Copies of this chain bind each other. A is one copy, B any other.
C-alpha cells in the first residue's frame, strides 16, 4: 500500500483489521487529549511494525500518520494468531519488538519527566541519528528527518517556541543542526554527553 504525506494510517481507538510494516518513508505515532494537546509517542522508521496493539488488544492506543509518502506492507490481523500457532520464532520476534518498544518508551518517559529542554533535545537527536544509522539512512552523521519542529516539541513535551530556541543553542554550540528536513550531527560524543545518552548502536530489529 502507498500513501502520501499527511495521510492518517491508524486512528486511536479504532479497531483496525490490518497491520503494517513500513517499507519506505517515515511517520509519527501520537496520542491526543480531549483538550487538543498532542503527545508524539515516537517516530516511525522504515522497517517498523505498526499496529501491533490493534492486533493484540483489538484497539489502537495511539494514532499513526505518514510524515512523508510511505509504502507499507499490509497484513491481516488473523495472520498474527497463525504466527503464534505455527511459527513460534516469529511470535517471539513480535514479542521482542514489543519489548523494544516498551524499552524505548521508558527512555522517552525518563527524558520528558526528568531532563531539561537542552538535554532532552540533545537526547532526541542522538536517538534519531542512531535509529537512522541502524536502518542505513545516515551517511556521515547526516540523516533525512522529514518532521516539523512542532513534532519534536510534542514528542518532548515542550512548546514549539522553546524547542526552536533550544535547537538554535545546539547549532550555535556546533553540536548539531537540523534544517530543510536534514539533521546534521557535528559532534556526536558531545551531543550524547549533553543529553546523557548512550551511543551504542541500536540492535537490529527483525523484519516482520
Contact = CB atoms under 8 A, between A and B. Distances in A.
Interface of A: 31, 33-35, 37-39, 41, 52-53, 56-57, 61-62, 81, 84-85, 88-89, 91-92, 94-96, 98-103, 105-110, 112-115, 154-157, 196
A198 to B, nearest CB: 10
Contacts of A115: 33, 37
Given A33-B115, A196-B33, A98 B100 contact: no
A35 B95 contact: no
A52 B98 CA distance: 10
A34 to B, nearest CB: 5
A57 B105 contact: no
29 contacts: A33-B115, A33-B196, A35-B196, A38-B114, A39-B106, A39-B109, A39-B113, A41-B106, A52-B99, A53-B102, A53-B103, A56-B92, A56-B95, A57-B103, A81-B92, A84-B88, A84-B91, A84-B92, A85-B88, A95-B95, A98-B98, A98-B99, A101-B102, A102-B102, A108-B109, A109-B112, A112-B112, A113-B155, A114-B157
